[in-house]
């Protein structure tokens, strides 16, 4: 997460303009969840998920805020035995899909300056890592959004396919099919990008 993202997280949690959490009866602690703690702990995850889903860095803070507003309003629907990250991913996926449907964002492309810098100690390691990250994120943009959601949940967030299916509201066979296609799309996109760079 960027320093700007960290500052935004702090401002949202403590903003005097944000409605008091107790203004919605029971919402702040629904299902044992405390919204400020939930926000503080998972802001980075939601921010990173939206980036993987294709939201450009310039809009990430605003779109992450939108996700947490929706989460806040629906805390009462959270079922405590359920894993929290797949639940949050569902909100992020729907908000990202709405964002992409806006005509001004339909032709959005990944810009080289959109990627935050890595904090590895070596300058060479930072460069290598940043190039790999940029390649991976660019390749993700070559995967259709619904397939990409399955790919991110399973391959990056390490959710089981049944969890993926439940999160996205699809059946297990559909989830397996989308995962297979997403892997193929990702591999093709990565190969195409490496070829453009003159890499093997």
For residue 89, which of 173, 26, 180, 156 has the smallest C-alpha distance? Answer: 156
Q: Cβ neighbours of residue 132 under 8 Å, at least 6 residues apart?
A: none
Lowest mean pLDDT among 6-10, 150-154, 188-192: 6-10
Is residue 57's pLDDT more than 50? yes
Is the model more confident about 139 or about 22? 139
Alpha helices in the chain (DSSP H): 3-14, 35-52, 57-73, 84-101, 123-140, 145-151, 161-168, 172-196
The answer to whether 6 touches 29, Cβ cutoff 8 Å, is no
Instruction: Please give the Cα distance from 38 to 75 (Å, whole number).
Output: 10
| Band (145; pLDDT cuts 50, 70, 90) | very high
Q: Does pLDDT of 120 surpass 80?
A: no
Q: Residue 165 has which token pair?
A: 């299916």
pLDDT number for residue 104: 55
- Please report the domains of the chain, with CATH numbers, ordered by start residue: 1-108 (1.10.1740.10), 116-200 (1.10.10.10)
Average pLDDT over residues 35-58: 92
- Residue 62: closest CA among 108, 9, 16, 106: 9
Tell me, what's the pLDDT at 14?
Answer: 41
Burial 51-66 (b: 16+ CB within 10 A, else e): bbbbbbbeebbebbbb
Q: How confident is the model at residue 124 (pLDDT cuts 50, 70, 90)?
A: low
pTM for the model stands at 0.67
Q: How many CA atoms lie within 13 A of 104 on its CB side?
A: 3
Residue 61 has pLDDT above 60, yes or no: yes
């Amino acid at each position: 997460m960027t320093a700007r993202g960290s500052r935004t997280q702090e401002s949202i949690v403590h903003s005097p303009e944000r409605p008091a959490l107790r203004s919605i009866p029971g919402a702040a602690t629904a299902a044992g969840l405390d919204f400020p703690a939930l926000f503080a702990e998972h802001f980075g995850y939601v921010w990173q998920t939206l980036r993987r889903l294709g939201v450009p860095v310039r809009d990430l803070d605003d779109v992450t805020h939108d996700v947490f507003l929706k989460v806040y309003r629906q805390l009462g629907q959270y079922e405590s035995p359920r894993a929290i990250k797949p639940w949050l991913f569902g909100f992020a996926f729907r908000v990202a899909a709405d964002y992409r449907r806006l005509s001004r964002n339909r032709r959005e492309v990944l810009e080289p300056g959109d990627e935050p810098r890595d904090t590895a100690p070596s300058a060479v390691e930072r460069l290598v890592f940043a190039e790999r990250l940029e390649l991976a994120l660019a390749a993700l943009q070559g995967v259709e959004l619904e397939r990409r959601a399955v790919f991110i949940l399973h391959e990056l967030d390490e959710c089981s396919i049944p969890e993926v299916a439940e999160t996205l509201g699809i059946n297990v066979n559909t989830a397996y099919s989308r995962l297979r296609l997403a892997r193929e799309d990702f591999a093709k996109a990565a190969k195409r990008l490496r070829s453009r760079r003159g890499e093997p």
